[in-house]
């Protein structure tokens, strides 16, 4: 359970970083503003991708565990 919280927190922080870059709250100095906005979008999409992949793998693992338990009960 603790690892789930850490995984979602880190991935959420990636999305938050993207939002902060996109909104201009984080000032990166002399970097091109278009580049910063593109990087913000990339961080947001990457965070969403990582959360969705983690959820799918977690569900697949839980489904696999439940099938193994059912097989053991049938034996």
Residue 75 has pLDDT above 60, yes or no: no
pLDDT score for 12:
95
d(CA 40, CA 34): 10
Total residues belonging to the chain:
75
Rounded to two decimals, the pTM is 0.77
For the chain, what are the domain ranges? 2-69
Work out the burial of residue 47: count CB atoms within 10 Å of its CB; fewer than 13 is exposed, 13-18 middle, 19 or more buried. Answer: buried
Phi, psi of 27 (to 5 degrees): -95, 120
Helices (DSSP H) in 24-75: which residue ranges?
A: 33-74
Question: pLDDT for 12-71, tens place per residue?
Answer: 999 999 999 999 898 888 888 899 999 999 999 999 999 999 999 888 887 776 766 666
Which helix (DSSP H) or strand (DSSP E) does residue 16 occupy? helix 2-23
């Amino acid at each position: 359970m603790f690892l789930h919280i850490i995984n979602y927190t880190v991935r959420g922080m990636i999305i938050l970083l993207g939002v902060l870059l996109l909104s201009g709250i984080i000032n990166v100095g002399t970097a091109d503003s278009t580049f910063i906005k593109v990087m913000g979008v990339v961080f947001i999409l990457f965070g969403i991708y990582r959360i969705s992949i983690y959820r799918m793998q977690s569900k697949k693992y839980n489904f696999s565990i439940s099938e193994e338990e059912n097989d053991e009960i049938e034996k």
